[in-house]
Amino acid sequence: MGLLEFINFYLIPGIVLGSIYALGAVGITLIFAILRYAHLAHGDLATLGAFIALAIVTSAGISPLAALPFAIVATAVVAVGIDKVFYEHLRERPKIITVIASLGIALMIRAVVQVIWGVDSESYVRGISRPDVYFGLRIRDREIFTVLAMLGLVGALYVFLKQSKWGKAMRAMSDNPNLALLSGIDNRVVIMLTWIIAGGLCAAAGVFLGINTEIKSMMGWHMLLPMFAAAILGGVGRVEGAVLGGLIVGITEELSVLILPGEYKAAMAFVILLFMLLVRPTGILRGKVL
């Protein structure tokens, strides 16, 4: 196998897939770090984002990339709403209660998507797009957009967390909630911000998955486990870790067919994860140990 073939058919798809995982994993890692539970409705929230974008694309006749900001805002609103209506009351209860609640939310979101949009496979743009060739590298526009958008969104989030007042408050909550609360940080604002960011990134993950493949009612649920693996792999609470984790999971999944039968592709994320937990439980970039 030539180097170009390796890059074109294994590495590039892995990076694109990894970027989509990364967008979801960042949200998961933030919720893990600040709210301290595993949010199982994350995948279905991404599905909802993808379908909201689809509704905008078909009704307004714009490209999916133009619809992306609207989908991000709409999904962020939904995420905050879900938190207010369902999760907020459970804040003082053991975290397992919220984990189970989020499972119920996943069922509810999926049901809403299936009732409104049906269960058929949809795509944003009909037809196929063959890749352009740059110096032997076969890349599609939408793949470049996916990776760039991921880097852009996560980069902006990174700067926000490092520089802004509220970003620092979020990191403080993640590091030591009691201390953060003592120093006068408004818990409610931090939690709302977390949901806005997580919801928005969810929508982006869903839309980019939809742009690169199809939009289906089960698409998010299928992505949930790899996204969790990516978040933990990178180190809980570390945004850049989630990106790294997402890319590693995506690339290893694509490379796994070189050594394993294709049906075990889905197991790759967990094999890496188990290995990582054994040798370095904090994740690649030293994250929180829950």
Partner 1 sequence: MKTKLLAVTAGLLTATMLASAPAKADVKIGLIGGVSGPIAAMAPAMIDAARLAITHVNDQGGILDGETLVGVVGDSACNPQGGTDAATKAVNIEGVLAIVGPHCSGAVLAATGSVTVPAGVVVVTPSGTSPEISNIADNDTVFRTVPSDDYQGRALARTLRERGYDKVAVAYINNDYGTGLANAFRGEFEAQGGEIAGFAAHEDGKASYRSNLAELASGGADTLVLFDYGDGTGLTILRQALENGFFEKFVGGDGMKSDAPINELGAENLATFVASAPVGEKSASLDTFNALFKEAGGDPDAIFVTTSYDAAFLAALALEKAGGDKAGVAAALREVSNGEGEPIGPGEWSKAKELIAAGTAIDYKGAAGDHNFDANGDVPGTFALFEVGADGFEVITEMK
Partner 2 sequence: MEWIGLLNYALFMGIFIGIYALLALGLNIQWGFAGLFNAGIAGFFAVGAYTSAILTSAPADGRIGGYDLPFVIGWIAAMVAAAAIAWPIGKICLRFRSDYLAIATIGVAEIIRLVIKSEETLTNSARGIAGLPRPFGEWPYVESQAAFLVLVAAIVLVVYLLVERQFNSPWGRMMRAIRDNELAARAMGKDVEYRRLEAFIFGAAIMGLGGALFAHFNRSITPEAIDPMVATFLVWIMLILGGSGNNRGAILGAAVVWTIWSVSEIATDQLPHEYAVKAKYIRLFLIGLLLQLVLRFRSEGLLPEPLRGDQGNSGIDRERSVQS
Determine the Cα–Cα distance for residues 195 and 73; give it in Å rounded to an integer.
Answer: 11
Q: What are phi and psi of 163, to 5 degrees?
A: -100, -40
Chain position carrying tokens 């120093």: 183
Determine the Cα–Cα distance for residues 33 and 161; give it in Å rounded to an integer.
Answer: 13
Report the nearest approach of partner 2 to the CB of residue 273 (Å).
6
- By CB under 8 A, tell whether 25 contacts partner 1: no
- By CB under 8 A, tell whether 47 contacts partner 1: no
Q: What are phi and psi of 215, to 5 degrees?
A: -110, 120
- By CB under 8 A, tell whether 117 contacts partner 2: no
Report the nearest approach of partner 2 to the CB of residue 86 (Å).
5
Q: Which of 30, 281, 35, 68 is nearest to 154 (CA)?
A: 30
- By CB under 8 A, tell whether 137 contacts partner 1: no
Query: Residue 188's Cα: distance from chain center in Å?
Result: 23
User: 35 with 80: CB under 8 angstroms?
Assistant: no
- DSSP letter string, 153-197: HHHHHHHHHHHSHHHHHHHHHHH-HHHHHHTT--HHHHHHHHHHH
**Which of residues 127 and 261 has its CB atom nearest to partner 2 in the complex?**
261
Which of 111, 159, 179, 189 binds partner 2 (CB under 8 A)? It is 111
Which of 171, 270, 284, 285 binds partner 2 (CB under 8 A)? It is 270
| Residue ranges binding partner 1 (CB under 8 A) | 1, 5, 8-10, 13-14, 16-17, 20, 114, 118-123, 126-131, 138, 140, 209, 212-214, 216-219, 221-223, 250, 253-258, 261-263, 265-266
**List of residues contacting partner 2 (CB under 8 A):** 32, 36-38, 40, 86, 89-90, 93-97, 100-101, 103-108, 110-112, 114-115, 225, 228-229, 232, 261, 263-264, 266-267, 269-271, 273-274, 277-278, 281, 289-290
